Amino acid sequence: MAKQIDPINDKPSCSDALQKKTFAEFFAGIGLMRMGLEREGWTIAFANDIAVDKYDMYSEHFQDANPHFIIDDIHNLKADGIPTVALATASFPCNDLSLAGMRKGLAGKESSAYWGFVRKLEEMGDRRPPLVLLENVSGFLTSDGGRDFKSALQALNSLGYAVDAMIIDAARFVPQSRVRLFVVGCRQHRQRMWQVKETLSFYESDIRPRPLAEFILCHPEIVWNIREAPPLPVDAPGLPDILEDLPDASPFWWNDARRDYMISQMSERHATQLKNMMAGSKWSFGTVFRRIRNGRSMAELRNDAVAGCLRTPRGGSARQILVQAGYGQVKVRLMTPRECARLMGADDFVIKADLNKALFGFGDAVCVPVVAWIARHYLNPLLEEMLRNADGSLERVALCN
């Protein structure tokens, strides 16, 4: 088990942290936030998660996990055990912000861990990072009628962070539909530097769809720092590009009875789509999730070369099923851990965990190329401004004391 680090013996200044692009990864999971940031020149200094299974996967891939990874509840962490860094990231639990979590919001048992993160920032005092990056499901925007999101942003405001937000679908980078809400907080010594524009079109963009733009427009009481970003990529690979070529004898393939039972759970529309795939003169691929519709378990097919959003396999419905059809045939199996890694943009991730642990780790992670894109086009330019501004709102001395 990883040991608590002692930053007393190694106290980088805030200036050093900015120059070295160091970061602390809270709710680190298996470390995919780290992978994305490292692709753009960032250096890990601290990681924390409560789940031992996730730490096991993290440490199998990252050989330097000990001593910077601390296994503990975020509420138990001591601020003086967290090193001075340029960036703190928080992919806090989404369970209570989603439909699956009954929309309990930030008051829910798991998603309330966000307040533990805020408390750690507060307790760090003048050492709190100049930059913060949050990640969660897009439902965070509308949780409790938008009040949860507002409260979360104002909590960052109270610690001196102006905020920006973006919504990005991983399907712009990988063949997986995974829509996530990101928030960037930037510490500023001025009370306010942003005047909300009164036109919705000013905020709408590739990374700020209308619902988010409307939220920004309707909440001038929040201290914003809206920045421009380039368009998102449009040439993501398709589902066939990430699939493993498993032999017919692989135990991953389902037997005929199990396959036919799943097909019997399809609606007429989805069954017709599958028949059209089978009639093709080449193999085509789709994915299936089981969902409860009107009290009945249904198998819902998606065949647009994009996988559904990976989930944590708490139940059978959370497992993503692959369908391969053509030449009058249909074959069915679960997605493999390696395919899940590729759907998250973590193609070379070392996987030694069993199937369930691997699916849980990837289903509860962030998409690596999305994080890398944010680092390249947003965090890095912002950091460069902090480093070169001698007297502006992002002055290094004012931030770091």
- Asked if the structure places residue 35 within a domain, the reply is yes
- Asked if the structure places residue 21 within a domain, the reply is yes
- Asked if the structure places residue 345 within a domain, the reply is no
Neighbouring C-beta atoms of residue 269, cutoff 10 Å: 9
Whether 79 and 170 share a structural domain = yes
Range of the domain at 174: 7-235+365-400
Using the 3D structure, point to which of 288, 318, 335 is the last residue of a domain. 335
Whether 301 and 170 share a structural domain = no
Close Cβ partners of 396 (under 8 Å, ≥ 6 residues apart): 14, 15, 18, 386, 387, 389
- Asked if the structure places residue 330 within a domain, the reply is yes
- Residue 82, pLDDT above cutoff 60: yes
Tell me if 142 sits within 8 A of 98, measured CB to CB.
no
Whether 90 and 198 share a structural domain = yes
The residue type found at 353 is: A
**88-99 pLDDT per residue, tens:** 999 988 654 544
Close Cβ partners of 111 (under 8 Å, ≥ 6 residues apart): 92, 93, 94, 95, 96, 97, 101, 104, 105
Concatenate the DSSP letters of all residues of 199-222 into one string: -HHHH-SSSS-HHHHHHHHT-TTS
Q: Quick one: which of 221, 225, 183, 230 has its CA closest to 394?
A: 225
**260-279 pLDDT per residue, tens:** 999 999 999 999 999 999 99
Residue 107: pLDDT band with limits 50, 70, 90:
low
What burial letters (b/e) apply to 158-194, b meaning 16+ CB within 10 Å? eebbbbbbbbbbbbbbbbbbbebbbbbbbbbeeeeeb
Whether 229 and 279 share a structural domain = no
Whether 118 and 170 share a structural domain = yes
More confident position, 276 or 16: 276
Domain containing 53 — which CATH number?
3.40.50.150
Using the 3D structure, point to which of 335, 357, 389 is the last residue of a domain. 335
- Residue 173, pLDDT above cutoff 60: yes
The residue type found at 7 is: P
- Asked if the structure places residue 342 within a domain, the reply is no
Looking up tokens 């200044």, which residue turns up? Answer: 13
Whether 155 and 194 share a structural domain = yes
Query: Domain count of the chain?
Result: 2
Q: Report the C-alpha gap between 240 and 285 in whole angstroms.
A: 7
Whether 46 and 192 share a structural domain = yes
Looking up tokens 């949780």, which residue turns up? Answer: 143
- Asked if the structure places residue 310 within a domain, the reply is yes
- Residue 397, pLDDT above cutoff 50: no
Tell me if 333 sits within 8 A of 256, measured CB to CB.
no
Q: Report the C-alpha gap between 183 and 166 in whole angstroms.
A: 6
Q: Report the C-alpha gap between 69 and 162 in whole angstroms.
A: 28
Confidence at residue 119, expressed as pLDDT on a 0 to 100 scale: 94
- Asked if the structure places residue 300 within a domain, the reply is yes
Whether 80 and 166 share a structural domain = yes
Answer positive or negative: Cα dihedral of 384, 389, 393, 397: positive
- Residue 315, pLDDT above cutoff 80: no
Residue 292: pLDDT band with limits 50, 70, 90:
confident
**pLDDT (mean) for 353-369:** 93
Whether 186 and 269 share a structural domain = no
The tokens for 63 are 């050989």
Whether 203 and 309 share a structural domain = no
pTM of the model: 0.89
Whether 25 and 92 share a structural domain = yes
Looking up tokens 């995919």, which residue turns up? Answer: 32
More confident position, 175 or 197: 175
**364-380 pLDDT per residue, tens:** 999 999 999 999 999 99
The tokens for 242 are 């990430």
Whether 219 and 167 share a structural domain = yes
From residue 297, alpha-carbon distances to 20, 44, 334 in Å are 52, 44, 17
Tell me if 11 sits within 8 A of 126, measured CB to CB.
no
Angle (CA) 235 239 241, round 5°: 75
**pLDDT (mean) for 304-317:** 77
- Asked if the structure places residue 274 within a domain, the reply is yes
